[in-house]
């Protein structure tokens, strides 16, 4: 059979095009790691979100190593939490669900984008190599203030990230001469051990307590404050644990004046 030279050329050209098209589609689907959200996340009753193990307290959890989980609840017209912080060089799995209507969770400038459907949990795993700041927005029309539904995702350098929280309990007032106690609770959400120091500064006094938390947990340390050394009047105090700080004011009064004398 004799095929005309031009005919042959066109046949070859169309074969090359077909192979090329298939190659680009395959690359697009597999190469850049684009994955569709499937039903791996499972389902949830929107009425039980508050009691749910994962969504009752949404936020960032350390799973171990460089792996984290982030639970997000979407509702008209906000995300809980709306500010998310994760470290660079991490692998983060997001679990997102909706309390009311269909929203989306779209991280601007990335390929992270999912519909958020009440009753369903959208699950996606993302690797963050570099620090960066991203906006989160909803691109499914969800009502009057749809355009205001937004959040923030901060990928911070690894050494700036922790899941430490500090809360301090201190009296507002103490009687001169009596010892009073300021207690600081440090909680650590990381699975790794935390070894640090809590420092209280009040007046001329600086008190330090060691804090050691193995794995995820919390520890409360107490500072005994010498009110006699402080003298009467108002004294500002500050409790510092690493980058976390809480402050307040303690008023030292004479036993006879002010305060709750009946105590």
16 Cβ contact partners less than 8 Å away, ≥ 6 residues apart: none
Q: Does 241 bind ligand CUA (CB under 6 A)?
A: no
**77-106 binders of ligand CUA (CB under 6 A):** 77, 103
- Scanning 52-60, 133-141, 181-189, 235-243 for contacts with ligand CUA by CB under 6 A, the matching segment is 133-141
- Scanning 127-135, 138-146, 174-182, 198-206 for contacts with ligand CUA by CB under 6 A, the matching segment is 138-146
Residue placing its CB nearer to ligand CUA in the complex, 21 or 141 = 141
CA distance 32 to 216: 35
Compute, in degrees rounded to 10, the torsion defined by CA atoms 132, 141, 69, 243: 50
Choosing from 52, 54, 99, 146, the residue that interacts with ligand CUA (CB under 6 A) is 146
Residue placing its CB nearer to ligand CUA in the complex, 104 or 164 = 104
CA separation, residue 119 to residues 12, 49, 73, 98, 116 (Å) = 52, 10, 12, 7, 9
Query: Under rule CB under 6 A, how many of the chain's residues touch ligand CUA?
Result: 8
CB of 57 to ligand CUA, least distance (A): 22
Tokens of 108: 């601007």
Q: Does 149 bind ligand CUA (CB under 6 A)?
A: yes
**187-226 binders of ligand CUA (CB under 6 A):** none
Judged by the rule CB under 6 A, the positions of this chain that interact with ligand CUA are 77, 103, 138, 140-142, 146, 149
């Amino acid at each position: 059979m004799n095929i005309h030279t031009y005919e042959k050329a066109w046949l070859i050209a169309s074969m090359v095009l077909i192979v090329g098209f298939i190659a680009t589609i395959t690359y697009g689907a597999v190469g850049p790691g684009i994955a569709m959200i499937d039903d791996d996340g499972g389902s949830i009753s929107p009425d039980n979100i508050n009691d749910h193990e994962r969504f009752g307290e949404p936020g960032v959890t350390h799973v171990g190593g460089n792996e984290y989980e982030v639970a997000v609840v979407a509702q008209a017209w906000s995300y809980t939490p709306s500010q998310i912080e994760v470290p660079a060089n991490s692998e983060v799995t997001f679990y997102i669900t909706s309390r009311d209507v269909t929203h989306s969770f779209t991280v601007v400038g990335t390929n992270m984008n999912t519909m958020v459907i009440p009753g369903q949990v959208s699950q996606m795993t993302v690797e963050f190599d570099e620090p960066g700041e991203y906006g989160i927005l909803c691109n499914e029309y969800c009502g009057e203030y749809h355009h205001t539904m937004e959040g923030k995702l901060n990928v911070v350098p690894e050494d700036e990230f922790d899941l430490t929280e500090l809360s301090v309990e201190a009296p507002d007032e103490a009687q001169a001469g009596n010892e009073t106690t300021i207690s600081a609770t440090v909680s650590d959400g990381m699975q790794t051990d935390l070894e640090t120091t809590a420092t209280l500064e009040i007046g001329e006094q600086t008190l330090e307590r060691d804090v050691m938390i193995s794995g995820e947990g919390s520890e409360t340390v107490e500072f005994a404050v010498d009110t006699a050394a402080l003298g009467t009047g108002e004294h500002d105090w500050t409790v510092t644990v690493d980058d976390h700080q809480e402050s307040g004011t303690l008023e030292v009064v004479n036993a006879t004046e002010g305060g709750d004398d009946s105590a």
